[in-house]
Amino acid sequence: MIRLLYVLNQGVVIEPLQRYHPLRHSTLHLLAPSKKKPPPPPKEEKKEEKKEDAEAKPEEDHYCDMLCCKFKKPPLKKYMEHLHLPDSIDSYTDRRYVAWLMLVTVAYNWNCWFIPLRFVFPYQTPSNTIYWFTMDILCDICYLCDLLIFQPRVQFLRGGDIISDRVEMKKFYHSSMKFRLDVISVLPFDILYFFFGFNPAFRANRMLKHNTFFEFNDRLEAILDKAYIYRVIRTTGYLLFILHINACLYYWASDYEGLGSTRWVYDGKGNMYLRCYYWAVRTLITIGGLPEPQTLFEIVFQLLNFFLGVFVFSSLIGQMRDVIGAATAGQNYYRSCMDNTVSYMNTYSIPRVVQNRVRTWYEYTWDSQGMLDESELLEQMPTKMQLAIAIDVNFAIVNKVDLFKGCDTQMIYDMLLRLKSIVYLPGDFVCKKGEIGREMYIIKQGEVQVLGGPDGKKVLVTLRAGAVFGEISLLAAGGGNRRTADVVAHGFANLFILDKKTLNEILLHYPDSEKLLMKKAKYVLITVFKSHYLAAERTVVASRQILYFSTLIVLRCCLALLAKVGRLLPDS
């Protein structure tokens, strides 16, 4: 039979437990034929046997004795690997942990909402007790898994170090107040069902697991793009839950006084929960128009309801105001800045055209960036975080610039932190020909046009995102730092600006990159000078040709005029 079970289980080791009996073993030893002792095995075989025993030892530690058989079971670690659970959990970045907290929060809310409901209202009947009991078991399983599997794996900080050791994490969790509340929340007071019947009040300790609920709120707000929406929903949930508890208390008070015994209590007509909830809403929000309490108990109950209603309702309204105010803080700041600027321009009678351009700049900057100044937001962060954000946002653009190809990557990182972002409106001059250049420009978004020609209005070239200009004035020395052309924004253009002083400060720490940039600057300057020289030479040649041809034309005209004059003169 044991062999048959072994074949059917296909790999599950089932061994009979041999009970030791001294009389039986001594008899078998006497009846057994005597055998010669085998020769001792060589040392190599002993070493191999020791290795095999060492490898088999951890497996032997995971056997389960049941009845007359010994079953082999895999260790708990293998179950965790199968479920892809890590040895330690980072509660700030692990999305799976947030999903698990959401499941535990659902179980916690089930207990908080339905335990008072089932205790007060006659909704739990012998016919549906099995369904309530099933949901209770599922919630308890969630609580136990959180207590035994997830919480002992959560990392924690000690002196600035992230502790991920399994033993240390267990010790930290077991010494915390959260562990004590979690243990109390899973104590099986449900056993009292066998003595006092299915009373939901025995599950009141399940409502003590509030730490998980608040932790889930914090983690979810940290990963949501618009956390204020969830805050509004959560605050609304608080209000509904308080009204729910008040409705349960009102039905309990009505049942205590006797349903329909006075005009103040619930009369037992209609849907009992909706009627009691309606009464709770009117009481907590202090709408009025309710029947007057008759007995002393009813008067005290109503007074407490009014006092708590004023306090709770005003607190929730204030919390809702703070949530909405925090959500619209940026928009309010933008409106305040714009209103102050418009007021300033009106005070000093700024022309209407300039005012319209200022308003356009405010609106475009806010719509495109969601803020007026990015540097204000980044200044609150450490330098490392500023660099990480700058690399993700701007490195791809700066890395495309031919001027910086081959330079030290760390130099580019330092330069990213010094770049300033400026928005130009359509038609704005970025720089003008002949002015002293102290900045270099990198186009982040939009287009700019380089103007030239005799009248200075001919579009020579259009530069787009990733292009760079002004590097000649930035890198040149002496008189070479003059702008060589007009540059105009062709629409809304967002440009990065790097000034000469900042670049020189950066290049002090990167001499190799400085040499490379100077070589490129010389090459660019030589190319520009050659182009200017060739253009001037062509101009001179063209002017000489024009002068030559004009002289010929004048001479021919003079000769023709002299010939006509000679014909008109009489012959002598």
Residue 207 lies in a domain: yes
pLDDT of residue 248: 96
- Exposure b/e, 424-445, CB count within 10 A at least 16 = b: beeebebbeeeeebebbbbbbe
pLDDT of residue 284: 82
User: Are both 138 and 6 inside the same structural domain?
Assistant: no
Residue 18 lies in a domain: yes
The pTM (predicted TM-score) of the whole model is: 0.68
Residue 321 lies in a domain: no
Q: What is the mean pLDDT of residues 251-259?
A: 92
Residue (of 372, 371, 418) closest to 398 by Cα position: 418
Residue 477 has pLDDT above 50, yes or no: yes
pLDDT of residue 141: 96
- Domain end position, chosen among 193, 223, 253: 223
* Cα-based distances in Å from 365 to 358, 369, 393, 431, 493: 11, 6, 17, 21, 11
Say which CATH number the domain at 393 has: 2.60.120.10
Q: What is the mean pLDDT of residues 544-571?
A: 67
Integer Cα distance of 173 and 148 in angstroms: 11
Question: 317-322 contacts: CB < 8 A, separation 24 or more?
Answer: 319/235, 320/232, 320/235
Confidence class of residue 312 from pLDDT cuts 50, 70 and 90?
A: confident
Confidence class of residue 478 from pLDDT cuts 50, 70 and 90?
A: low
Strands (E), 191-255: none
User: Are both 468 and 489 inside the same structural domain?
Assistant: yes
Q: What is the DSSP letter of 424?
A: E
User: Are both 489 and 421 inside the same structural domain?
Assistant: yes
Cβ atoms of 388 and 367 closer than 8 Å = no
Residue 395 lies in a domain: yes
pLDDT of residue 175: 94
Integer Cα distance of 260 and 14 in angstroms: 68
Integer Cα distance of 337 and 348 in angstroms: 17
Give the range of the structural domain holding residue 359, as residue numbers without chain letter: 330-369
Residue 105 has pLDDT above 90, yes or no: yes
Residue 102 has pLDDT above 90, yes or no: yes
- Nearest 10 degrees: Cα torsion 348, 350, 352, 354: -140
Residue given tokens 């960036």 in the structure block: 369
Q: What is the mean pLDDT of residues 504-529?
A: 79
Q: What is the DSSP letter of 430?
A: E
Integer Cα distance of 118 and 109 in angstroms: 14
For residue 454, give the amino acid letter. Answer: P
User: Are both 397 and 515 inside the same structural domain?
Assistant: yes
pLDDT of residue 174: 94
Residue 419 has pLDDT above 70, yes or no: yes
pLDDT of residue 27: 40
Residue 274 lies in a domain: no
Element (H, E) at 496: strand 493-499
Q: What is the mean pLDDT of residues 155-166?
A: 88
Cβ atoms of 361 and 493 closer than 8 Å = no
Quote the Cα angle for 469-471-472, to 5°: 110
For residue 143, give the amino acid letter. Answer: Y
3-state secondary structure (DSSP) of residue 442: strand
**What percent of the chain clears pLDDT 90, i.e. is strictly above it?**
29
Residue 427 lies in a domain: yes
Q: Which residues contact 38 (CB under 8 A, 6 or more apart)?
A: none
Longest dimension (CA), the chain: 176
Tens digits of per-residue pLDDT, 349-359? 889 999 999 99
Q: Which residues contact 284 (CB under 8 A, 6 or more apart)?
A: 242, 243, 246, 305, 308, 309, 312, 313
Tens digits of per-residue pLDDT, 187-219? 999 889 888 888 899 999 999 999 999 999 999
pLDDT of residue 433: 85
User: Are both 379 and 365 inside the same structural domain?
Assistant: no
The two counts, helices (H) then strands (E), for the chain are: 21, 13
Residue 172 lies in a domain: yes
User: Are both 378 and 519 inside the same structural domain?
Assistant: yes
Please state which of the ranges 2-6, 100-104, 373-377, 557-561 shows the lowest mean pLDDT.
2-6
User: Are both 110 and 163 inside the same structural domain?
Assistant: yes
Cβ atoms of 423 and 365 closer than 8 Å = yes
Total domains present in the chain: 4
User: Are both 344 and 451 inside the same structural domain?
Assistant: no
Tens digits of per-residue pLDDT, 38-73? 555 544 444 444 444 544 444 445 555 544 555 555
User: Are both 97 and 185 inside the same structural domain?
Assistant: yes
Quote the Cα angle for 178-180-183, to 5°: 110
Higher pLDDT, 147 or 9: 147
User: Are both 204 and 335 inside the same structural domain?
Assistant: no
**What percent of the chain clears pLDDT 70, i.e. is strictly above it?**
76
- Domain end position, chosen among 347, 369, 391: 369
The mean predicted confidence, pLDDT, of the chain is 80
Higher pLDDT, 548 or 408: 408
User: Are both 391 and 487 inside the same structural domain?
Assistant: yes
Residue 303 has pLDDT above 80, yes or no: yes
User: Are both 381 and 355 inside the same structural domain?
Assistant: no
- Domain end position, chosen among 199, 223, 247: 223
Residue 216 lies in a domain: yes
Integer Cα distance of 391 and 389 in angstroms: 5
Q: What is the mean pLDDT of residues 489-504?
A: 88
